[in-house]
Structure formats: C-alpha cells, structure tokens
Copies of this chain bind each other. A is one copy, B any other.
Amino acid sequence: MLNPLATTALMTALDEHRVITDHSTREIYSHDETPKYCLPLAVVFPRSHDEVVAIMRIAIEYGIVLIARGAGSGNVGGALPSPQSIVVSFECMNQILEYHPEDRYIVVQTGVITAEIDRIAREHGLFYPPDPGSAAYSRIGGNLAMNAAGPRAVKYGVTRDYVMGLRAVTGAGNSINSGCRTSKGVMGYDLTRLLVGSEGTLALITEATLKLLPLPEARATLRVCYASNADACRAVSRVMNQAVIPCALEFMDRFSIQAIQAAGSATDLPAGTQALLMVEADGVASDLPRQIDALQTALAGTGLLDLQVATDKAAIAALWIARKALSHAVKNIAPLKINEDVVVPVSRLAELVIHIEYLAQSYDLPIVSFGHAGNGNLHVNIMVDPIDTNQMQRAKHALHALFSEVLALGGTLTGEHGVGSEKRPYVTMEIDADSLALMRLIKQQFDPHQLLNPDKLLPAQI
C-alpha cells in the first residue's frame, strides 16, 4: 500500500481525482504489450511540468519508484511497473503548447498522441515523419523514451532526428531545458539526445520541441512477390544501393504471408510466393514516375514473381491492408510471440534470413519474420506456447543463437523497441563493460536516488 502521507502529498499537489489507488485502475496500468504484470501502488495523472516536479519531489521524500507511462504500447516492458512503484501516466499532459509552421517546429506536452502531431502538422502542409505502428494511440513521450521509429525511418530517420529540445524533470527533482528551437545549435553537451531512448530511467520528459518537414505531395506503392526470403532480401540490398531512397521498404516472410492470408488479406498473390516486399516512394508528383522506374529496376532479379504498382490513394491503401493486418494476424499462430527487433547492415539481410530459416529448422520452432527491411531491421517472432517448457527452452537457445549471428553480421539487437525489461539479459552481448559502466554512472547523476524506472535498460547488477 502507498504510504498515506505520500498519498496525501500527491493529492494536494495534483487534486484528488488524479491520484488513483483503486484496484481496477491499477490493474489497467499493471502491464504493457509484454505478457508480464506488476500491480503499481497508484497511478498519478499530472497535467503540467510543475506537477511532475511535485510528483518527483514527493517520490524522493518517500523513496517511491516512478514509472513513466505514455500509452503502455511498448514491446519490451519499458512501462512495466516495478514492485512498490507509482505509475506516472502522461495521458492528461496532452496540450499543444506552441506551433510554428513558418519555422517548422511544434512544442508539445509529452502526453500528446503521436498521430495528433502529424495531423496538426498536415494542416499547414507539413508532417511529423516518425510513424511507429502504434502512432494512432502511442504518446509522444513513449516515442521519445524508446526512440521510436517505423516504416518511414528508411528515408526520414527516427524520433531522435526530430527532437530539437526537451523539458524534463530529473530523478533529483530538478527541471532541465535541453536543446534549442533552431535547426542548428551546439551549446553544451547534447542532453536532448541523451534523454531520447533513455526509457524513463534518467528523467521524466514533460515537453518536447519537435521538427516538422514539408509533406510530400504524392506517393506510390509497389507490392513485389518473390520465390524466397533470400531473393527478396537481395532485392532490398539492390534498392538500398541505388539513389532513390524509398519512404518505406517492408519485408514479409512466408509465415507472415500465411498469417495475413488466413485473416483474409493478400489472397491474390501468385503461386510460389514465399516473400513479399512493400515499397513506397514519395515526392513531387512529376518526379514519381522516375522513382517508380528506378525502384522497379532495382527490384527486378532472381525470384521476382509479381510486381504491382499503385499510385492512387485507394489502391495504395488496399496494398497496405495486408501489412497493417500483420501484427495481429501473427498472434493467431501460437499463444505467445517472442518478438525480437534485430538489425543488420542491409547488405547482410539475406544472410540473416537464411540463418533464421536454419534456426527455425534446427530448433523446430515457427519463426515469423517481417519488418523494416530498408533499415535492415527485422521483427523476428518466435511463436511458442508458454506452457510447453521444452519448446520454451528451445526458443531460449534459438534467441541466443539469433543474437550471436546478428552481432557477427555487424548488427544490433534492437532497432526500435528498446531494451526495457525484456532485453536486459542480452545488453552485455553488445555493449562493452566500460561503456556500460559509464552508462551506470550517467544514470547515477540523473537519478541519484534510483527512483526512475530502476529495473529497465541497464542489466541487473549481480
């Protein structure tokens, strides 16, 4: 139970109705997209930076752990409560503070829904490029915490690339303003990008200044079928080795295709299709035919079975339905998906998918792979039944083998999901001991009482 003095202090700082301790509400905030669960002591809903400062100071006074939470749509337990913690939900911090279309930036509270930023930008012919699959409901604070990305990252980059400045409350209860409102600025250490991707372990980010770009006037989508995973991945390498950078380059393997077909999508694929690429180009309308030509040339090669181009809105939407249905469709294959998020240099992608096929055979496991192939970023889903202990054991070994191969190919273990609680055991496979020691020291400076999401990102210390 939460210390009654702390409860009173929080209720004084925030108003009673934004400090929730009833069981059913705490249940809602007890998990994210991972299958894990931990009931928090309370959930608080600040409305302003100053209220977040107040919460942090109360947490320090009573020694209570705080878990920052946007929509709870993360894949790695980043927003999973720790035992005896309070969840700080940013859902009520949903104000657009400033919008300067003439200077292409917007200042928002971090509880604003990601897609809302994009929607507002579009009112002035701009857009907000990062587009995680969760954009319709995720909060920008969660995107910042995890350095979220999505299909458009292949051309436009990730959340980090669109953050000009932040306002935040450190674990010491101090307010900091980082960055600037201009497209250049080199004053002091880059605290902005240190906070982006820090998963709520260094500070509670309350406000963000985000860069916007001019909205491309037209787009075109290509759906391309291949006879094998490796054929499709070699086409990805060819596409990423010529000058037209697509604004999406998504890959789906055979199992992904089966899953979406079972759900009624993409039933028109030619026989023998074992892999699918979805490729999108954007730009000025007059230049799109040239882009499509160049992409078609790069996509042509061994194993190409079919290539369809859509340029009008309805046809583009129809082609994308399959990809959008995928995450949910995959869940029907087995009770649990162990959802990985590895990345390799694009030229090594074919080697990676061949290795994954080998792992699926060797460990006798269904492995469904799809993802942002243009970035070399593959979502590798090992499908398991958690009550089958033998299968779970095989999955564990397969995972380790997968990670070793990814690193051997010059890759990284997570491209956009982050570490959270789920990947903590694997951090030391990738990050050297001295870098990790520095990260721990940095954490200690920002969060001297170890109250901010303490069981995330950095490996547990034994």
Contact = CB atoms under 8 A, between A and B. Distances in A.
A292 to B, nearest CB: 13
A4 to B, nearest CB: 31
A306 interface: no
Identical chains bound together, number: 2
A267 interface: no
* Most chain B beta-carbon contacts within 10 A, residue among A103, A146, A346: A103
A180 B343 contact: yes
Interface string A311-322: 000000000000
B445 A160 contact: no
A188 B419 contact: yes
A243 B125 contact: yes
* Most chain B beta-carbon contacts within 10 A, residue among A161, A185, A198, A413: A185
A123 interface: no
Interface in A36-73: none
A411 B197 contact: no
A335 interface: no
Interface size class of A (residues with CB under 8 A): 35 or more
A302 interface: no
A196 B190 contact: yes
B436 A445 contact: no
Interface in A408-462: 410-419, 423, 427, 430-432, 434-439, 441-443, 445-446, 457-458
Nearest to A287: B287
A343 B185 contact: yes
B186 A417 contact: yes
Nearest to A180: B412
Closest 3 CB pairs of A and B: A184-B415, A174-B434, A193-B193
